[in-house]
Amino acid sequence: MAEQMTGAEMVIQALVDNGVEHIFGYPGGAALPIYDAMFQQDKVQHILVRHEQGATHMAEGYARSTGKVGVVLVTSGPGATNAVTGLTDALMDSIPLVCITAQVPTTLIGSDAFQECDTVGITRSCTKHNYLVKSVNDLSRVMHEAFHIANSGRPGPVLVDIPKDVQFALGTYLGIDEVGASRHKSYHPATSGDSKAIEAAVDMMLKAERPIFYTGGGIINSGPEASEKLRELAELTGFPVTSTLMGLGAFPGSNPQWMGMLGMHGTYEANMAMHDCDLMINIGARFDDRITGRIDAFSPGSTKIHVDIDPSSIGKNVRTDLAIVGDCGAVLEEMVRLWRSKTNQPRTEAIAPWWEEIKGWRARNSLGFKNSDTTIKPQYAIQRLYEATKGREVYITTEVGQHQMWAAQHFPFEMPNRWMTSGGLGTMGYGLPAAVGVQVAHPDALVIDIAGEASVQMTMQELSTAVQYRLPIKVFILNNERMGMVRQWQDLLHGGRYAHSYSESLPDFVKLAEAYGGKGIRCDDPAKLDAAIQEMLDYDGPVLFDCLVEKHENCLPMIPSGKPHNEMILPDFEDDIGAVIDEKGRQLV
């Protein structure tokens, strides 16, 4: 029902109407009317963060672990600029966010007023769409549209900038049904996918002898049903399945058809199978450069099918033979149906030689590492963490670096939405606030941030948020006293000259945890690790776990810059990784 209310009240009402229960924010002068409206209601719970970047990553963790839109509320100027990293992160990883920024009053816009910045200008290229609302009567429509755009098609962050006078102004609120079709008749993302193309894909699959499913974050975004359909299709066909970093969990890590992650730090078998396959079925992945390695040597002999909801992803990096623009879940469902109607047999016999080959690659044990009785190997720490938490409802977030890749390699997932990591942007400082966001959405679950000692210091202050809201997140720091990934690249490319990749003057993480009101645990002995992990899990509150690990471990296997998939550095190649890359490769990232 159309109702008279202030702009600030409309914001709250629109959140309620769009099913929002939690928002992550930080107040300031221009946002005060919205905060005042928030104060006078109890439908939406506001989580007060310690830095606006934290709010954006919390909203990302919340969104990724629930499939709902994550919501952020910040003030004008510095509030908005602090949110930019998280918005960019969400854009790169296709995470649905709505970010409400307050703005100086319309009459002051353009006057360099106190805490004014050109928010829509600054965020134009790091949002899926953004709005500056200049009239209160546009506000309800814009809010509903923002939620629709954020969560449909290829999801992404949408920003709504609301000047303070618009927050105070009285106007007519329209509900979701009353605003009718969105103003943007131009926006109608594809959903189902062309049925002829899907049929052609299934026909190719029926003839394939060396097929592989290359899956990505699109399956997670499509919802849990898409993961179900992938499992069904994999079972029906008997094909091997690999995934990008963003797609982990869509296919069970315990399934015999699971090949492990692919790409720069993916398994040998996944990358070799990608290189040698005759049919690549890409579902919801985007041929990112961490995946393809050297493009001109990428899977040279294969026919490529690409399913993506975003047409611009298709053919952007790699030429595909068959494009299907549509939602992964819908396309997978149709593939399952067609496969069933054409045959009821997996291609077990036809692809048996392919599986034999894969078995050979698997035997290289590319995730193997030399364990030690005296120092904790980071891979071992993750394996023990996995064993200690197996069977529980566990959500893992990460920071960015070696620990992130080790987590992806050594912590298998059985379900989608259990793994939150910053893939596209690679944002250090993502994991701790993301864990806070996940814990808000799943108060009874076990939420662990697998962290590096450098990354975690970028957003450490959000531990205070966790303490305030009694969110028992566990921050498991693989402390190598190095920016390990940077150090590894300096070995690889720069003759081991470790320019500023030490973590010097590290805080005492145990005392730091205590200072924040959480618990600190330190462990440097492999023999005591299990007990220490148990202590962490038993503690009902936030924990910083300072796990002192081997300082010079390299993250392997690795496809070095400028090399194709079939030239990986494997773990048995321990000697001089500095000799692997040639002059040209050095220029790459």
Partner 1 sequence: MNAHLQPSGSAYFLAAETQVPERHTLSVLVDNEPGILARIVGLFAARGYNIDSLTVSETEHEKGLSRITVVTVATPKVLTQIKLQLERLIPVHRVHDLTSEGKSLERELALIKVGGSGEPRAEALRLADAFRAQIVDATTESFVFEVTGKPSKIDSFIALMMPLGLIEVVRTGLAAISRGPEGM
Q: Does 27 bind ligand TPP (CB under 6 A)?
A: no
Residues in contact with ligand TPP, counted by CB under 6 A, come to a total of: 19
Our CB check for Mg ion shows the closer of 484 and 557 to be 484
52 is catalytic: yes
Our CB check for ligand TPP shows the closer of 249 and 378 to be 378
Q: Which of residues 99-128 bind ligand TPP (CB under 6 A)?
A: none
Contact 418, 395 (CB under 8 A): yes
Q: Does 433 bind ligand TPP (CB under 6 A)?
A: no
Our CB check for ligand TPP shows the closer of 161 and 462 to be 462
476 is catalytic: no
Angle between helices 484-493 and 402-410 (to 10 degrees): 100
**Residue 9 beta carbon to partner 1: minimum distance, rounded to whole angstroms:** 25
C-alpha span between 396 and 61 (Å, rounded): 10
C-alpha span between 267 and 252 (Å, rounded): 16
164 is catalytic: yes
Q: Does 452 bind ligand TPP (CB under 6 A)?
A: yes
* Among 516, 513, 426, residue whose Cα is nearest residue 476: 513
Element (H, E) at 173: strand 170-173
Q: Does 452 bind Mg ion (CB under 5 A)?
A: yes
Give Cβ neighbours of residue 318 (< 8 Å, ≥ 6 apart).
287, 292, 295, 298, 304
Interface residues toward partner 1, by CB under 8 A: 120-121, 124-125, 128-129, 132, 149, 183-187, 289, 292-304, 310-312, 315-319, 321, 561-562, 584, 588-589
Backbone angle region of 408, left / alpha / beta, with phi > 0 → left and psi within -120 to 50 → alpha: alpha
**Residue 501 beta carbon to Mg ion: minimum distance, rounded to whole angstroms:** 9
Q: Is 539 exposed, middle or buried (0-12, 13-18, 19+ CB in 10 A)?
A: middle
Our CB check for partner 1 shows the closer of 217 and 433 to be 217
Our CB check for partner 1 shows the closer of 128 and 418 to be 128
Our CB check for partner 1 shows the closer of 435 and 569 to be 569
Our CB check for ligand TPP shows the closer of 327 and 553 to be 553
Residue 427 binding partner per list Mg ion, partner 1, ligand TPP, none, with a CB distance cut-off of 5 to 8 Å that depends on partner kind: ligand TPP
CA distances (Å), 142 to each of 95, 135, 138, 146, 245, in order? 19, 11, 6, 6, 34
C-alpha span between 404 and 391 (Å, rounded): 22
DSSP secondary structure letter of residue 482: B
Q: Does 144 bind ligand TPP (CB under 6 A)?
A: no
Q: Does 93 bind ligand TPP (CB under 6 A)?
A: no
Residues 453-472 as x/- pattern, contact with ligand TPP by CB under 6 A: xxx-----------------
Element (H, E) at 546: strand 543-548
Strand partners, 310: none
Question: Under DSSP, is residue 323 helix (H, G, I), strand (E, B) or coil?
Answer: strand
- Please select the residue that binds ligand TPP; options are 116, 327, 399, 546, rule is CB under 6 A: 399
Q: Does 554 bind Mg ion (CB under 5 A)?
A: no
**DSSP E strands, 207-351:** 211-215, 241-243, 258-261, 279-283, 303-308, 322-325
* Among 483, 431, 425, residue whose Cα is nearest residue 456: 431
**Residue 403 beta carbon to ligand TPP: minimum distance, rounded to whole angstroms:** 4
Residues 475-494 as x/- pattern, contact with Mg ion by CB under 5 A: -----x---x----------
Contact 497, 489 (CB under 8 A): no
C-alpha span between 260 and 289 (Å, rounded): 18
Single out the catalytic residue among 115, 134, 232, 414: 115
Q: Does 376 bind ligand TPP (CB under 6 A)?
A: no
Q: Does 397 bind ligand TPP (CB under 6 A)?
A: no
Residue 400 binding partner per list ligand TPP, partner 1, Mg ion, none, with a CB distance cut-off of 5 to 8 Å that depends on partner kind: ligand TPP
Work out whether the CA dihedral 43, 49, 51, 54 comes out positive or negative.
negative
485 is catalytic: yes
* Among 437, 554, 485, 544, residue whose Cα is nearest residue 72: 437
Single out the catalytic residue among 24, 38, 116, 164: 164
Q: Does 431 bind Mg ion (CB under 5 A)?
A: no
Q: Does 437 bind ligand TPP (CB under 6 A)?
A: no
* b/e code 237-258 from CB counts within 10 Å (16+ = b): bbbbbbbbbbbbbbbbbeeebb
**Residue 520 beta carbon to ligand TPP: minimum distance, rounded to whole angstroms:** 18
Our CB check for partner 1 shows the closer of 300 and 353 to be 300
C-alpha span between 223 and 225 (Å, rounded): 5
Single out the catalytic residue among 52, 399, 462, 550: 52
147 is catalytic: no
**Residue 18 beta carbon to ligand TPP: minimum distance, rounded to whole angstroms:** 31
Our CB check for Mg ion shows the closer of 313 and 457 to be 457
In this structure, the chain runs to a length of 589
- What is the binding site for ligand TPP (CB under 6 A)? 399-403, 426-428, 452-455, 478, 480, 482-486
- Residues marked as catalytic: 52, 114-115, 164, 485
- What is the binding site for Mg ion (CB under 5 A)? 452-453, 480, 484
